[in-house]
Amino acid sequence: MRRTQPNQRDYRILIAVDDSSSMADNLCRQMTFEALATVVSALHLLEAGKIGVCSFGESVRVVHGLGEPWSNEMGASMLSAFTFTQTRTLLTEPPSSTILSYAAVLLLLTSLSIMQSAGQGGSASRLPTSQLLLILSDGVFSEDPQSSTLQAAVRMARDANLFVVCIIIDDARKKVRTHLDAFLPGPRGGCFGPAQWPW
């Protein structure tokens, strides 16, 4: 249903797609593309707000900037930007970083920067802002979920009012256990599993 009344909030939604090699399986790749297309189409139809897409693994790359216009022609070019060849899936720490872990945040810090940039400029909205980071991944991350780096990054995102949701894309035929198996409800709308992922 399309919006018939003006927004009471400024919504910024960034969809982060895991571009690592563990996502290269044909079925997993297809499900990822279908999930991305479904989410983007639904949010665009609902006029949910500013929608952006990025890829992440060893690095983060913006595929579609927040607030950029959408068109049918963008679909194919956007999907071609994903290679699923990055060798590691990092949420926070760059592969060769030697700086303090709190300053080394990758996906979460980049997401915050993108959100903040979208709110700058002369046409910035004065409405209250809601920010959502939607992660599409198979749940195979390279970091210890209890690491101080990741915990600090999640706290930073939470303090900046960035709500994080992780959607697991997995091939059930493989039955591969990940760090995100057997989720249990967690506080503040998040989840905790056996490995205690902090969202």
Domain boundaries, the chain: 10-65+86-192
**Could you tell me the pTM of the whole model?**
0.72
How far is the C-alpha of 193 from the C-alpha of 54, rounded, in Å? 26
Q: From first to last of its 199 residues, what are the pLDDT tens digits of the chain?
A: 455 555 566 788 999 998 888 788 767 888 888 889 888 888 888 888 888 999 887 778 899 988 788 776 777 778 888 888 877 665 555 444 433 333 235 677 788 888 878 766 545 556 667 889 898 888 776 666 667 777 777 788 888 888 888 888 876 655 444 444 433 334 433 333 334 444 4
Contact yes or no for 15/51 (Cβ under 8 A): yes
Q: How would you classify the pairing of strands 60-64 and 50-56?
A: antiparallel
Q: Which CATH superfamily is domain 10-65+86-192 in?
A: von Willebrand factor, type A domain (3.40.50.410)
Tokens of 161: 């009012």
